[in-house]
Structure 1
Amino acid sequence: MSAKDPQGYSLTGANEKASELYAQALTELQCYIDDPVATIDAALAESPNFVMAHCFRAYLHLLASERAAMPEAEASFKAVTPLPANDRETGHIAAIQQFLAGDMQRGINALESVLIDYPLDIVALQTAHLFDFFVGDARSLRDRVARQLPQWSGGITGYHALLGMYAFGLEEMGDYRRAEDYGHQAIDLNTRDAWAQHAVAHVYEMEGRQQQGIDWMESRQVQWSTDNFMSVHNWWHLAMYYLDLGQIERVLNLYDTRIRVERSEVALDMVDASAMLWRLHLRGVELGDRWNEIAKAWSPVAEDAFYAFNDFHAMMAFVGSGNAQDANRVLTAQKARIGKGGSNDAMTAEVGYPLCMALQAFSHGDYARTIELIRPLRTIANRFGGSHAQRDVIDLTLIESAFRDGQHGLARALSNERMALKPTSPLNAKFRRRLAQGTSAQEEASVA
């Protein structure tokens, strides 16, 4: 009898022990816990011709969204291509080929073809969901999961992950009540589902429910922060609530003891660090050596131009630390990247490169140029990935530039817009107060 995955699909080349390890690796990725790479490597040691284990290993490295992980993804692809494979597995191999070629959308489309015929393929769904996030496709974050939900039930292994993914898609589409409900349902099924935890955290962030967000994160800290490779991002979410409340010392403590305590060189972790420091920088907070530390971590990949969203956050670190040399390396690499083809080409040309130029202009005190560069990007910034909460840093940079350049009409319009969306935000109230009093960001920071 052939081995099967937890959803009942055949696994070519797997023995019983390898299929058990594969199921364990799936659970680890669904909850973002432990070490799914080590687990899948153990499965391959048991069954070297295990097709889906090779595919899963390739996805784990592709999802790192950094160039350094690509050789391992390529090695897995090279190992799987000569192996006999069934139709479902062949679809996965085709998707991996597209991702390795740099075409995220074609890779997503190949996974969508798999899901049409195999709606319980949780690997295809979770991978496509995460790539939907990387390309900023909020509708697909929601609807790709919705297309599969009727085929699932609570009795199928991994159902919690489906609910958590759906919760995040609903949140990104502004359906906050249903997002919160589905996120809680997912947590009720599996208390360690860090993606569902994160989906509910996004709801509280977007609605300005800061204290509820703090209570949600702190009351469940053990579940989402223990042996969890998404913990840095969830610590970032907790810090975001305190930041909105103006509790700057608490934010800095979380940064030092949680977000950057391990000095991670994983791109996803460095993104969170840069994003938090830049928000503090916009408020005029003195950051000491923190900029230099994160800039040093970003420096080895300054010329990668691999993923525009990462470039933007590396640029924050370089201009924040005054590292003009690495800032110029980013811009030069981005400019050279444009026209080479692939998903990141468009992301860089349309959003990433002008945003990085805007950060450089901001660092030079050229706020008029910063405004000129950012304003056309506000409605298309989703095209280079990230969530609404992450991309809000673009608007924050724009509104601070408007204040500093004396463009009070623009600052007023942006403040009104923010207040309409999140009237309970103390930060938005500060923008209103600055308009009335002409207060500088530095003065606001001194009384935060």
Structure 2
Amino acid sequence: MSNLDSRGLPITTKSDEAARLYRQGVDLLLSAWPGTIETLRQATNADPDFALAHAALARMHAICAEPVKVKTSIARAREIVARNGTPREKSHVATIAFAVSGEGKNALESALSHADQWPRDALILSLLLGAFGLFAFSGMAEHDEARVSLCEKHAPSFDADDWWFLTYRGWSHTENGGVTLGRDLTTRALELRPANANGAHALAHAMFEEGAGKDAETFIHGWLPSYDASGLLHGHIAWHAALSALERGDAKTALAIYAKHVRPAVSCGVPLNVMTDAVSLLWRIQAYGHEVPAGLWEPVKAYSNTRFPKVGLSFADIHMGLLSAATGDRGAANDRIEALTKLLEAGSIAAGPVVPAVCRAALTFADEDYAGCVRILEPVVKEAVRLGGSGAQREIIEDTLLVALMRSGQAEKARGLLDTRLHRRPSSRDTNWRSQIAA
């Protein structure tokens, strides 16, 4: 009898130990838990010809932004699977190869086709889901709906108590507006596997979207100590607590969380999270009228310029635009805007005009030309969903527009936008802003 993965699919390895380590390693990967790379490496050591273990390593190295290791691992997986892989394994490796090589369109098509044939292949299905998944970064405006449709389509293939599927089914519903169902599903996922950072992250999102920011802070402060600081989502989950504190006007607590968990010097997250979390939190603090202490922006700039020197990833590009504007680096801001404009003209930005627009708006906001910021952002703000990420992350764009509307004296428009937001998600910050406008 052949070995099986953690969801009952056959895997080509003659080593029971390699199969055990692979099951463990994939579940660590799917829960964003420390020890993933070490465990998968042990699986390849137990069976050097285990293609899927090499492919999973490639995926993990890609998450950690380790391109040389990605190439080595995926090349080994492809070479092995070509010799003795099953049709599912060949499709599995090919899909991961597209994903880790940055071929988003091919990866999306391959993953969807693969999921239709082998829906229980969780590692492939996971590529499509999440805030940084293939759907989110496809540039499509309907990626929230697409994730829900995908999860509901394949729900019958999963056990009712599959902690991973519950996590992402719940997260998908939360992001698509089904917050009550999303919170229930992710709560159940975390009960089944408490050592699940993706589950904790999904639950924090559900609480945020429900307007239960204080619940989110309480939950995170209680859960986070169980998650080692080396965990990829440790800093980002702490960022959620800082965001909730800031939303209720407590910039002091937000800055304390930033110093302890979020700033680049202490966060062990993936570079995209580290950069965007730091930039967006400091930008929000400043935009909401609080003071960012001297010296906080410079380390963020040094970290970010090293890791994101070129354009091409829209979610990173808008945050780099915010960073350049906040630090007064007009040269870097204009260079990025020019490069993005050229890509846009060439049809090479899937997310469209919103990308350079956010960067231009950030400059005008930093210059205190709030009316100019409104003129730039207002026509494209509804397209922000195409940038990917989560609703909580993208809210920074709408927040910037709101502050610009209020500071430029456009009270009626600000009131209308706030009413829409408060209907969608209760917020003490928005309630206070609404009261200030009414007064």
Give me the TM-score of the superposition, normalised by structure 1: 0.88
Deviation digits for residues 104-136 of structure 1 (CA, Å, limit 9, x no counterpart) = 243122112222221221111112213234447
Q: CA deviation at 1:419?
A: 2.7
Counterpart of 2:311, as a letter, is A
Structure 1 residues 306, 73: closer, same or farther in 2, change over 3 A?
farther
Partners of 1:390 and 1:225 in 2: CA distance: 24
* Number of matched pairs: 427
Structure 1 residues 41, 337: closer, same or farther in 2, change over 3 A?
farther
Match of 2:367 among 333, 356, 364: 364
Partners of 1:275 and 1:148 in 2: CA distance: 35
Is the counterpart of residue 267 in structure 1 residue 272 in structure 2? yes
Match of 1:276 among 267, 273, 281: 281
Q: Residue 155 of structure 2 aligns with which residue?
A: 149
The 8 Å contact of residues 207 and 215 in structure 2, kept in 1 or not, is answered as yes
Q: Residue 79 of structure 1 aligns with which residue?
A: 76
Partners of 2:347 and 2:410 in 1: CA distance: 38
Deviation digits for residues 342-381 of structure 1 (CA, Å, limit 9, x no counterpart) = 6xx222x432222112112222223233212212222221
Unaligned runs of 5+ in 2: none
Q: Residue 313 of structure 1 aligns with which residue?
A: 319
Q: CA deviation at 1:179?
A: 0.9
SS of equivalent residue, structure 1 residue 335:
helix
Unaligned runs of 5+ in 1: 438-448
Partners of 1:336 and 1:18 in 2: CA distance: 48
Is the counterpart of residue 10 in structure 1 residue 40 in structure 2? no
Q: Residue 446 of structure 1 aligns with which residue?
A: none
Deviation digits for residues 35-77 of structure 1 (CA, Å, limit 9, x no counterpart) = 322322232233222211222122224445xxx5344333333
Is the counterpart of residue 106 in structure 1 residue 83 in structure 2? no
The 8 Å contact of residues 191 and 223 in structure 1, kept in 2 or not, is answered as no
Structure 1 residues 312, 243: closer, same or farther in 2, change over 3 A?
same
Q: Residue 441 of structure 1 aligns with which residue?
A: none
Q: CA deviation at 1:227?
A: 4.7
Q: Residue 429 of structure 2 aligns with which residue?
A: 427
Q: CA deviation at 1:243?
A: 1.0
Map residues 185-264 of structure 1 onto 2, 5 A cutoff.
185-224=188-227, 227-260=230-263, 262=266
Structure 1 residues 263, 237: closer, same or farther in 2, change over 3 A?
closer
Q: Percent identity, aligned pairs only? A: 24
Partners of 1:341 and 1:80 in 2: CA distance: 33
Q: CA deviation at 1:302?
A: 4.2
Structure 1 residues 46, 337: closer, same or farther in 2, change over 3 A?
farther
Q: CA deviation at 1:226?
A: 5.4
SS of equivalent residue, structure 1 residue 161:
helix
The 8 Å contact of residues 344 and 353 in structure 2, kept in 1 or not, is answered as no
- Structure 1, 47-56 or 277-286: larger mean CA deviation: 47-56
Is the counterpart of residue 414 in structure 1 residue 417 in structure 2? yes
Q: Residue 443 of structure 1 aligns with which residue?
A: none
Match of 2:395 among 374, 392, 395: 392
Q: CA deviation at 1:325?
A: 3.1
The 8 Å contact of residues 303 and 329 in structure 1, kept in 2 or not, is answered as no
Q: Residue 45 of structure 2 aligns with which residue?
A: 45
Q: Residue 23 of structure 1 aligns with which residue?
A: 23
Give me the TM-score of the superposition, normalised by structure 2: 0.90
Calculate the aligned-residue CA RMSD, in Å: 2.3
